[in-house]
Amino acid sequence: MNLPIPEKVILIRVAVDQAYGNWNGPCNPETGDFVYVPIPQNKPNVRGMEKLYDNVIAPALAYFSGRNRLEVVLPQQLHCQRMHLDPDFDHLSYGDTAVRGKKLLSFNENDWVVFYSSLRSVHGEPGLIYALTGLLVVDSIRQVADIPETEFDLNAHTRLLERSDTDIVVRGKSGVSGRFSRYMDIGEFRNRSYRVRLDILEEWGGLTVNDGWIQRSANPPLFLAPKKFAHWLQARMPVLKHSNHE
């Protein structure tokens, strides 16, 4: 698979963690297998567009457990809860607010939105695993006000009962966008925080954050050398899944 070379690449943290959901999605470091578990959502959805952990994530965890020969179940605090399914790899979409996503308005076709998450090993190792988990190669970028009602169920921001017209929705190109079938470990605990490993940061050409800092931020970092990162990722030949789960 040949990915188009981008002019801009942004790195965005997604998925449940200790701050949003008080949990981390499971992963198997021996195989790179993982489950993408979105953050919780307390805002109501348009009727019929709710995405519930029990309906979506519980079966995904059961399937993960079966193929890894162990048991991982949905934590109690997520039962009967809505999730903010964003990015939505079933529809190759990602939404953001006008403030946090303002950089995306300058992105063009074939630029990249790269996602990472904090995962926890099923083998009980201490600490977290920070990993790349997906990619959208930009096909279109629109504000919610410009999205027709027929497309509301394609992204978490347009599924909301009370939508913000200035929110931004990215749609990815089919065939070159998706969830990674296996995560790519990029992190280490350094200088009192989780950061991109120094060797990887050098191979990427750096980020617009100090010392590879990778925590949740209202100002997601850009890659300083997007073409260099693109070649790094292409060399690892990620398998992209047009789905949220196996």
Single out the residue of 36, 47, 13 nearest to residue 159, CA to CA: 47
Does residue 43 lie within any of the structural domains? no
Supply the DSSP symbol for 185.
Answer: E
Query: Is 17 within 8 Å of 84 (Cβ atoms)?
Result: no
Q: What is the mean pLDDT of each run of 10 residues along the chain (246 residues)?
A: 94 97 98 98 97 98 97 97 98 97 96 98 94 98 98 98 98 98 97 96 97 90 98 96 96
Query: Is 220 within 8 Å of 11 (Cβ atoms)?
Result: yes
Single out the residue of 82, 73, 89, 65 nearest to residue 21, CA to CA: 82
CATH of the domain at 144: 3.10.590
Cis peptide before 29 (omega within 30 of 0): no
H helices present in 82-194, as ranges: 156-159
Give the chain's domain count. Answer: 1
Phi, psi (rounded to 5 degrees) for 114? -110, 135
Does residue 38 lie within any of the structural domains? no
Q: Please give the pLDDT value at position 241.
A: 98
Query: Is 239 within 8 Å of 135 (Cβ atoms)?
Result: no
Q: Please give the pLDDT value at position 117.
A: 98
Does residue 61 lie within any of the structural domains? no
Domain carrying residue 111? 9-15+85-241
